[in-house]
Every structure is written in C-alpha cells, then in structure tokens.
Structure 1
Amino acid sequence: MRNTFARIALLLVALTTSPMSAWSENLKGTELHAAAANDDVGSIRQLLSKGADIDARDENGRTALLVATHGNKIGAAKALIDAGADVNAKDDINDSPYLYSGARGHLEILEMTLAHGADLKSTNRYGGTALIPAAERGHVETVRRLIAAGVDVDHVNNLGWTALLEAIILGDGGKRHQQIVELLVEAGANVNLADNDGVTPLQHAHQRGYREIEETLLAGRAR
C-alpha cells in the first residue's frame, strides 16, 4: 500500500507541474496555431489554401490540431482533421489529439479522431491508453465510446494500473465512477488484475468504502 500511495503522489505532482495547454502561453506558435486556438475556421482554411504546414509544431511540439483539442475547439478541429491533420501527432509530453481528447472527455473531437485513424494502442507519458485517464476522470460517455472502439480494457500503465484500478483508486466512488466500473466489467475487464503491490480492484474498493463498486465487482466474480 505504501508504494501505491507513493505512486499517487508522484502522479499528482506530474499533473500539477506539466506545461499549460493554452496556445497563448507559447512563444513560437504559427498563424495556424493561433487560428486553431481562436476556433477561426475561416482563417484555418485560408492559411491551408496558401500552403501552411498543417502539422507544424510550436515550441512544445504541439500541432495546430492539438492546440484546438486542448481548447475543445470543435470547429477548428474538424477543419484541420478534414484537411488531413495527423490525429496521432504527439507533442513533447506524449499527448496527441486522440489521447488528449479521450483523457479530457472532449467527445466530439474524440469521435473525429476515431474516424480518422486514431491509434488505439498509442500511450501517453504515463504509459496509459486514452481509456485509463478517461476512466479516472469520470468521463462516462468517453469510456463507453473507447470501449466500443476496441481499446484494450486491461492495458496496464507505468504505475501498474488498469482503467478499472484507476477508476477506483483515483475516482471518488460516485455515480460516474460506478457507471464506469460497470462498463469496464461488462466489457470483460479482468476484475482480479491486481496492482504492483498485489492489491486487487475489490480490495481497493473495500478499503475506500465504495460499496456499490464492490457489489459490481463481486457480481463480476471478483475476489
């Protein structure tokens, strides 16, 4: 358990010290990045028609599409994706439009990335698929969509956690996380796949007093 709490602490530190997402905080964005940040579809189309590099990077390695995704700028994202922007292009911290939209629950943009070649096996800086942070953050519909798309429900990240474990360990035990646990169990997630300390999802749920989640896991033959 000591190792589990240490990993949670490290994860929280990483989340609070990672670079900010707003394009305006970058010093070297392109006009296309600015148009994406402002959801300016007209300017995006005009710039692309004049030969702007659709996958050009800013100083943090972000493409214009990733900038649009950070701001959940749906119009800009659609214009860029329709024009051929790479939905899997990663920045300097291993975020891509696909991974970020999944992690943040930006469902409309996620749907577009899935329809345009999203790499379901790609992983973020923690070694996790898009499903894992979506489950942790309580994005029910995003989890449902990623499961339907075929993301591996039992993928283990660098912390030793699956989507099911993160939904319990980092979730709040409320309705959204209860639903997510149900979705994962229904999708065939291994309810007995323990973390690196050998603690199972059922044990984590019991320790936190998440009775409804315990019941779901027990119904799925958790031990």
Structure 2
Amino acid sequence: MISAPLPAITVLEGLERINASLDTASAECHTEVRTLQPGGARSELDLAQALERSQHFGVRGIHMRTLYQHTVRHSYGLHAYLDRLADVQLEVRTLEELVPRLMIFDRTVAYIPAGAGTRIALELRDPDLIAFLTAAFDCFWQHAVPLHEPLPEPAGPDGITAIRRSIARLLVEGNVDEEIAHRLGLNIRTCRAHIAKLSAALGGSSNRAQLGYQIARSGILDEPRPAGQAGSGGTEGGA
C-alpha cells in the first residue's frame, strides 16, 4: 500500500510537537543540514537540545552549516557547544543581521517560525519553497564571515564602529530601541549604550530627532558597509 504524501505545509503548535518533528527530521537526515540562528547568545537549554540533536551527525557523515549573528562570537557557551561537536562536519559563519530562524534538512524538509515567539512553527515540504529557502540561505552564507576569522574593519576612519554604524542606519529608518536590539542580536541595555556612544561621537544630542539629523549630516551612512553584513533580523533547536 502506497502511503499518502506528506502535506506541503504543516502547522506545528507547541514546543513538544515542534521538537518531536525536529528530532524526526534529524534522525532521517542523510547528507546535509543548514541552520540559521538569529539573536545573541543562546540559552543553556537551547544549546543542550541542539547538542543532543546534532552530535549524532558525525558518525553519519552529515555536513552542517550554521549561521549566527556577530554578537555570538563572545559567547563562551556557544564555543563550548561547538567544541563538543568536534567530530561533526560543521562550518559556522556569522553576519551582523539575519532573518528569522530557518532549518533545512537534506533539501527535503524545512522549518520556519510562524509569528512571534517560538511556540508555533511551519514544517515545509514543498520542493519549490525549499529550493527558494536554500538559495536564500546560500546567499547569506556567501556574505558571512567564518567564525575563526576576525571581523573586517571594526571601526572606520571616523572612529565609529561597524555595529554603531548599523545602529545609526536603523535609527534613521525609524526603528525603536527594542527593534534595533532584536535585529542586531543585542540586549536592550547594550543597544542603548551603543546609541549613547554614537550620539557622543557625533557631538551629543538631546533627542532622537536631533540624533537622526546628526547622523544624516555626518555622512557616516554614505560609506560602503563592510563585508559580512546583510538582511534583517525566531524555530528553536538545531546547531
């Protein structure tokens, strides 16, 4: 008896069902996994689940590629996690900004979040949609910086670091502090500290409108952005 094909799109509600589906996809994977993990340092629980799911890939010869944001480079938990995956064919790169989470197994099934939070996800099996997501991941990958390589040019000739230049761009676009922090994988206090230092570097400002004017007048956004930056910036799990 021939089994019915799986749905092109399945809505997964609740962390238990999401993790069960990810476990199945991991167990059935044969060749490659692509994961895109935005945000800053990940929690111990997330890393423990990812480790349990990923450490079996080594003996099966599965190749993993994972994208994080630049801010994870200072996460001791993440580096300890990667050290425990030494036997896995794992490549890690970072970007300044990323789109929401994405996981692709064997170009057969993919997972993306549905709405805010992590409690609803979409399981995707449509070949054309997966091909599109795979191409998007590969585009991000080509612009990303390998984890073992230093980031390019931490500060321009004006003394403003790349992260503050990105904050300046998002400020001019009208984003509030919380959205800027989310997109760059920063906590809100760190983000606001960068904004204060950006303001000081441009001569000080009493309000957001004045800071926007100073940014525009300074010309700092007219300079080419360093390599390793792209896109905009949550399904839990994966590497």
> Over alpha carbons, which structure has the higher Rg?
2
- TM-score strictly above 0.5: no
Q: Scaled by the length of structure 2, what TM-score is found?
A: 0.28
Q: Scaled by the length of structure 1, what TM-score is found?
A: 0.30
> Which structure has more helix as a fraction of its residues?
1
Higher relative contact order (CA 8 A, sep 6+): 2
